[in-house]
A and B are shown apart, each in its own frame.
Chain A
């Protein structure tokens, strides 16, 4: 169940404790708590509006939680300025991808390599070399010299991942990285993520694609209406009734009950009157 490189005693890198986020009168998140262990892949799922992106924003320091805290190796993320978050070891991709338009693809990634966690030790040339490496890894080697504004959407997503990797993160947050990809592209993306995880990067993946999440996650956390409603191994979580209900809604449950009613009535009727023989 656990990923390849988990040490004997699982080390908690990221701790989300009792996080709540309020916007105006609305609680987008409440009482969310879980740990993220080194080397794992944590899938974060939930129906639309359940607060997944909000949680990502809190974990990556974009939002300061109204209640609770997120700590990374005992440092509160909310206390760290934006530009230092990656220096801690956390990197993320964004749903709305806006690369540095007038720079080439390679330059885009190189910036991350220059200023990320290991950036201080890298020269300009070393940064470009590292950038090229990462571009090959995500499959963008051939467009390394093109202006980033020329890239197609799937390529831009790859660029996002490459940029995040250039920061040498210990934990990588991926926000709907597979949206809009076709089946082949999804498989390629999953392969890439597994690769990255094998190299020791802990992943937190937010996705809508069930199959993708299931195939890659070691643990899954389910959010609904801002609360954590389930956490555990993929198989267990997906079978849990509260999870199904969260996705399909209470009408589904009522429908199930109605169906059961009708079944019961039919059985009743069958007992009282045997079905007519058909000629």
Chain B
């Protein structure tokens, strides 16, 4: 992570963007990891928060506020509030229902924003950007956001809060009997994950200079973080980061050399990761018993 601080020094705009995206996806992966990995509520709608955060920045830009810190803070506040509001009904659902409901939230939000002329509708909005010379400020901002996400995950995982999340994942009813209010902690987890995704979006929008619903709420932004967390290891601190580097890197390479079929490859990769590495790389590396245990884990859920 520290190494990545050096990237802007290459003065290569393209590489900077690549790594900035890696940091962005990593942040979102950490966000997803909080609600999906630690708490066990698999959300397929995190992009809603990303987009919302992005649009916060866009709106602020319209009002002449182009301060990244303000962008992030406002995005956090808005996303936190939104998560609590939407979480109240949606977090009462479980499993499949929850997953689809979150997907629905993301789709619905996309629709709504696409229809709001005040936010540019489908044509999108432009944001004011800093000049060329200082462009790296966006990179550093994203770096800080990602660092915050990693640190937050690290500290939460070892704290009482983290245990509440895991308890809910393992056995929500038993957790309630032990004094954990499922509703309160689920919403907390979701709000945290929303703020992470929102912060990433808030920095992305001005960095990109342009925002429209298809960019703010893209399917990629929704699914990549999940696959990254899965690949690296859900419910771990290092997992999302590892997954982000590998997958975002792979995606960049594919886009460069195989642009026509890069999405195809990505689909294939998702299938492979799901079938071959269900517990993620962190698990794999910490594994005793080597190849045999791994092979056994592959048939764990066979019909």
Report A's interface with B, CB cutoff 8 A.
Answer: 81-87, 92, 98-103, 107, 110-112, 114-117, 119, 124, 127, 163, 166-167
Contacts and interface: CB of A to CB of B under 8 A. Distances in A.
A83 B158 contact: no
Residue in B163, B166, B179 with the greatest tally of chain A CB atoms within 10 Å: B179
Residue in A102, A103, A115, A116 with the greatest tally of chain B CB atoms within 10 Å: A115
Interface stretch (B96-104, B133-141, B168-176, B284-292): B168-176
Contacts of B167: 100, 103, 111
Nearest to A61: B177
A124 B159 contact: yes
Contacts of A103: 163, 166-167, 170
B178 A86 contact: yes
Given A100-B167, A107-B163, A115 B179 contact: yes
Contact of B174 (A98, A114, A116, A117): A98
Contact of A87 (B173, B179, B182): B179
Interface residues of B, number: 19
A107 B187 CA distance: 23
B153 to A, nearest CB: 16
Interface string B145-158: 00000000000001
Contacts of A114: 160, 163-164
A119 B164 CA distance: 12
Contacts of A92: 177
A124 B160 contact: yes
A161 to B, nearest CB: 13
A67 B182 CA distance: 28
Contacts of A100: 166-167, 170-171, 174
B170 A167 contact: no
Contacts of A115: 160, 164, 178-180
A138 B173 CA distance: 24
Nearest to B173: A82
B67 interface: no
Contacts of B160: 114-115, 119, 124, 127
